[in-house]
Amino acid sequence: MGRPLKAKLIYNQAAGNQQQSPQQLIDILAALQAHQIEPEVYLIHAQADVGAVVRRALQDGTRLVVVAGGDGTVDSVAHYMVNTPLRLGIIPIGTRNNLALNLNIPSEIPKAVALLRKRVPLRIDVGKARSGGTTRYFLELVTVGLLSDMYEITDDLQHGNVARIGEWLATFMAAEPSEAQLTLDAAHQASGRTVRASGHMVLVANMPYIGANVQIDPKVSYRDGKLDVFVFSDMTKLHFISFALRSLAGNVDQESIKHYQVRQLKLRSRPAMNIMADGLELGSGAVKIEVLPKALAVMAGRKARKT
């Protein structure tokens, strides 16, 4: 198998089923040992500085940073690894594990750990979004509008907090459409194409599966140097419900959604719509988004999308 491999292991003990957390950590450490991976372990807590762990890896020559957690934990670590020589390993133990689905990383701990040794790194695109004075990198998507408004409540519902269903319905019914102006730049030309639309939301996707493992479009790729923009314009709330149901069934009606591929875009909305990047608040009203081609090295599975 070769020489022992040094790694940083960032473990989120609050991810997934917390009752299983102690045994999961034991299982992860046993699997790493079986593959001669020697981890320096960091436990996630409220004051944890994952950026410091990444900086330490860069300083001491460690090249593999392994994250055991859900999508939010992986996103928070990946933010500091963009455009570095570090390799990101993922052991999916969260609730949705959408990133693992996109990257074809098995849910079984031994199989996920085996990828860290058996596969070569895959370089994937990363999105970069800026609103006001805040900049965030994203792996999955940026949401503008209704999905941003409902993200926190939806996340709680998916984690079993059914008491918020009334709040979810109230937020959904109270939503009003906004006027959005998008400047789409497919080739970094001096002036981009301008699109105007009235609607409840815009999605900018870097990966085909979003949210609760919903496939927005099978053609979306994180290795093509482009972002996919979906504009939900002139759709009634009934259409949105229908879209959500078809999405869960794996049958999205693309005729009711405008789809563009870009390298960068600028968006303005009035009234100002809320903006989130991979579930984190970014701002409202205006945002600039661009793709950073092949900016992150990930230990992905065998069937990862290729260009």
Confidence of residue 159 (pLDDT cuts 50, 70, 90): low
Q: What is the predicted pLDDT for the residue at 250?
A: 47
User: pTM for the whole thing?
Assistant: 0.84
**Do residues 259 and 228 touch, judged by C-beta distance below 8 A?**
yes
Could you tell me the domains of the chain?
5-118 (3.40.50.10330), 127-293 (2.60.200.40)
For residue 148, pLDDT beyond 80: no
CA 281 and chain centroid, separation: 13
pLDDT grade for 249, boundaries at 50, 70 and 90: very low
Mean pLDDT comparison of 190-194, 225-229, 299-303, highest-scoring range: 225-229
User: What digits encode the pLDDT tens for the residues 79-113?
Assistant: 999 999 999 999 999 888 999 999 999 999 999 99
pLDDT computed for residue 147 by the predictor: 66
Peptide linkage before 208 cis (omega within 30 of 0): no
CA angle 279, 283, 287 (to 5 degrees): 100
pLDDT, average across residues 243-258:
55
Residue spans of alpha helices (H) in the chain: 21-34, 50-60, 71-78, 98-102, 109-118, 146-158, 165-174, 237-248
